[in-house]
Structure 1
Amino acid sequence: MKKKLLAFLLGTSLVMGLAACGGGNDKSTDTNKDTGTTTKTSNANDAQKIYDQKCSSCHGGDMKGAMGPNLTKVGSKYSKAEILDILKNGKSGGMPAGLVTGDDADTIATWLSGKK
């Protein structure tokens, strides 16, 4: 009986330990094969959370536009740098400056520039 209890406790501990250690990484890394440099890239889930909090009220939860324009294919119109500039400085016609800043702005710009 003691062996079964001990086996159960060890098995439970193992499962709990693996669950606690696995997959908590929200960021991944990309390595440039030419230069060998490694950079952190944001997970699309991070970008989606930021978008939901800061952007969806104007651009819609489905990104198809509301008060703001449709963003579903914004990456075919603007580069990452241009999107960062719009986030930083705003755009005439309603996009206010500074709604998303810092790393969040970079995360959103990277994500949106991939929407083609």
Structure 2
Amino acid sequence: MNRNPLIPFALIAFLGIGLMFLLSFVGLDNMDEMAHGDEGAGEIAEPATPDEIYAASCISCHGDQLQGTIGPALANIGSKYDAAHIEGVILKGQGTMPPGIVDAEKAKILAEWLAEKK
């Protein structure tokens, strides 16, 4: 006797659809928890130190040692520009650097930190 070759595929499809419904109902039970979660859990911490801000926003173009890659080297930028000028460049952009990569508060922290690099 010949077996029907569609039976295994139908069983797999039936089990897959059943599993989808089961997981959907589990998700419905946990919907509020997933939407709101624990207070403070899963939140991304804002970078606070100049090193953290630099690592989060600048390292891809200026390198991990301020050596410059796509963007210019910043290892001794403080000997060329003061903090106010550096802050202006961070906020407004210059050359290939786009404006507004970080907000004004972080730009001030970065500018003061970079102005010390001489």
Counterpart in the other structure of 1:81: 84
User: Residues 87 and 101 of structure 1 are in contact (CA less than 8 Å); yes or no, is this contact kept in structure 2?
Assistant: no
CA distance in 1, matches of 2:89, 2:109: 14
Aligned residue for 1:58, secondary structure, equals helix
2:102 paired with 1:100: yes
Q: Number of residues paired by the alignment?
A: 71
2:64 paired with 1:61: yes
Report the TM-score when normalising by structure 1. Answer: 0.59
Of Structure 1 and Structure 2, which has the larger fraction of its residues in helix? 2
Residues 16-65 of structure 1: per-residue CA shift (max 9 Å, x gap): xxxxxxxxxxxxxxxxxxxxxxxxxxxxx700000000000000011101
In structure 2, runs of 5+ residues without a counterpart are 1-47
After TM superposition, give the deviation of residue 99 of structure 1 in Å: 0.4
Identity of aligned residues (%): 39
Aligned residue for 1:98, secondary structure, equals coil
CA distance in 2, matches of 1:101, 1:86: 12
Q: Which runs of 4+ in 1 moved over 2 A?
A: none
User: Residues 50 and 104 of structure 1 are in contact (CA less than 8 Å); yes or no, is this contact kept in structure 2?
Assistant: yes
Which amino acid letter does the alignment assign opposite residue 99 of structure 1? I
In structure 1, runs of 5+ residues without a counterpart are 1-44
Counterpart in the other structure of 1:11: none
CA distance in 2, matches of 1:65, 1:79: 19
Of Structure 1 and Structure 2, which has the larger fraction of its residues in strand? 1
After TM superposition, give the deviation of residue 88 of structure 1 in Å: 1.1
